[in-house]
Amino acid sequence: MNLITKYLRKLRNNYSMLSLLVAYGVFLVILNRTLLKTHRPHVDIFQKSSYWSGIERKSAKSIAEYIKNHPPTISVNVWIEDIDQIDFIIVVQVHHSLPNLRRLIASFEDARDIGRTLLVFSHFYYKKNMEEAVRNITFTKTMQIFYPFNDHVCRNSFPGPNNHYCRFTLGCSDFVSGLRNASLSQNKHFWWWTLNFVYEQLQMKNKYVHKLMLLEDDDVVTADFLIVTDLLSELCYEVEEERCVLSLGNALDFKAESSKAIKAPFQVLKFTTGLVFNKLIYDKIKLETDTICRYDDYDWKNTLQVALIDVPAFSISSPRAVKGDEYDLYWSRNIKYLFPFQLEVERNESATVAEKNGYWSDMRDVNLCLLMHNITALYRYFEVLSPFNATK
């Protein structure tokens, strides 16, 4: 009897162990399938549905090839692993003017402390002479990225110019004047893609050290623009502990001799270019993705001011980032006023919100914008059509 009891007890213990092993095996299978599922497109963004990106399948194949053939390029003197050693990243949105781009690059070269920066040039479309102009930069580190949804790739199809307008409730119809303008809508897409691509590709984790500045290729910066940015950052840290936005370009009356920092709610800041913020603010922008993508305004500047309505801002009374003709008009005769030792603070607490410009109510623009919230995930949809291999 004792032998039988011992045998049954041993059998039960072995059965329990076997059950545990089976259960563990089932768990691994489920986990593996779940992980694989997260790395596959689970909806068809090229098929008309509530998830529809607006991109036609034939255009999607061209976009996939463009992504594969135009990976990010990085100058030989920088590696992704070294990004944490860089405290200032300047992102330039490049459109079409080579003379403007060369002038901006020349102003960078004349700027004090430019060697501490990484210059990221985001090209709306690929042009060899503009890519070479950036590749020839030797005074600091550079990176080039290429927007794949541009009008050259998407000829006569969304998000480029096309003859349709699509509503969420009524579907698509023939083009209606005044509701969508591809050249305007593309400005917001290009900005949103650039911002998210840079942060994802560079994998910037430090919330405070990295400052990111947004510029356009027709801008010019003064020789002290980094010094003034540091002064504004110090004021921001004293008051808001880095939880604010800075601007080196604004639409205020130009007074070169004035060295004032203007503190105001971000929504009243009449900035034109030279917006500066850190990872902490970017994380807040990402949380407002739904607002950014659904706000009916093609102008990303107005949209951002609505999304960050409760964020304080510091700007400079005499802009350090201006358009080329403005530089000739103002700064070329006032170089002696550059490099201030300190900035006086002036407050402007009046709050106004800019009126909507419209041209952003097409469901395709909204959905594509929402998909650009995560560039890595978005690109996986195109992997199905053509292999994508980002290279360093």
Q: How confident is the model at residue 205 (pLDDT cuts 50, 70, 90)?
A: low
Q: Is residue 62 part of a domain?
A: yes
Our count of domains for the chain comes to 2
Q: Is residue 44 part of a domain?
A: no
Residues 65 and 27 in one domain: no
Per-position DSSP letters for 323-386, written without gaps between them = EHHHHHHTGGG-GGG-S-S--EEEE------PPP-B----HHHHHHHHHTTSHHHHHHHHHTTS
CATH code assigned at 338: 3.90.550.10
Rounded to an integer, the average pLDDT of 380-389 is 64
Residue 179 lies in a domain: yes
What's the pTM?
A: 0.85
**Whether residue 169 is found in the same domain as residue 29:** no
Which tokens belong to 352? 């106004």
| Structural domain includes residue 88 | yes
Asked if residue 63 and residue 34 are part of one domain, the reply reads no
pLDDT in the model for residue 14? 53
What is the rounded average pLDDT of the residues 35-47? 59
Q: Are residues 198 and 293 in the same domain?
A: yes
Residue at 18 is within a domain: yes
Say what the pLDDT of residue 80 is: 54
Highest mean pLDDT of the ranges 106-110, 178-182, 314-318: 106-110
> Looking at the structure, do residues 186 and 302 belong to the same domain, yes or no?
yes
Do 326 and 194 fall into the same domain?
Answer: yes
At residue 270, does pLDDT exceed 60? yes
Nearest residue to 101 (alpha-carbon basis) of 69, 124, 67: 124
Structure confidence at residue 39 as a pLDDT band (50, 70, 90): very low
- Which segment of 150-154, 167-171, 178-182, 226-230 scores lowest on mean pLDDT? 167-171
Quick one: pLDDT at residue 266? 84
Residue 15: which domain range?
1-39
> Residue 42 in 3-state DSSP?
coil
Each residue of 216-262: pLDDT tens digit?
A: 999 999 999 999 999 999 999 887 767 899 999 876 567 767 778 88
Q: How far is CA 381 from the centre of its chain?
A: 20
Task: Place 162 in a pLDDT band, splitting at 50, 70 and 90.
Answer: confident
Domain match, 115 and 12 both: no
Distance CA 143, CA 198 (A): 10
Distance from first CA to last CA of the chain, Å, rounded?
A: 73
In terms of domains, do 158 and 12 share one?
Answer: no
| 392 found inside a domain | no
Mean of the pLDDT values across residues 27-43? 46
Q: Within a domain: residue 388?
A: no
Report the distance separating Cα 38 and Cα 62, nearest Å.
Answer: 25
User: So what's the pLDDT on residue 16?
Assistant: 54
Asked whether the predicted pLDDT for residue 22 surpasses 60, the reply is: no
pLDDT score of 253: 63
Tokens for 162, please give them: 């096309």
Residue 24 C-alpha from the chain's centroid: 42
- Cα–Cα nearest to 304, from 253, 247, 375, 251: 247
**What average pLDDT does the segment 193-203 reach?**
90
- Same domain? For 214 and 340 the reply is yes
pLDDT at residue 179 greater than cutoff 90: no
Q: Same structural domain for residues 6 and 93?
A: no
- 78 and 8, same structural domain? no
117 domain-assigned: yes
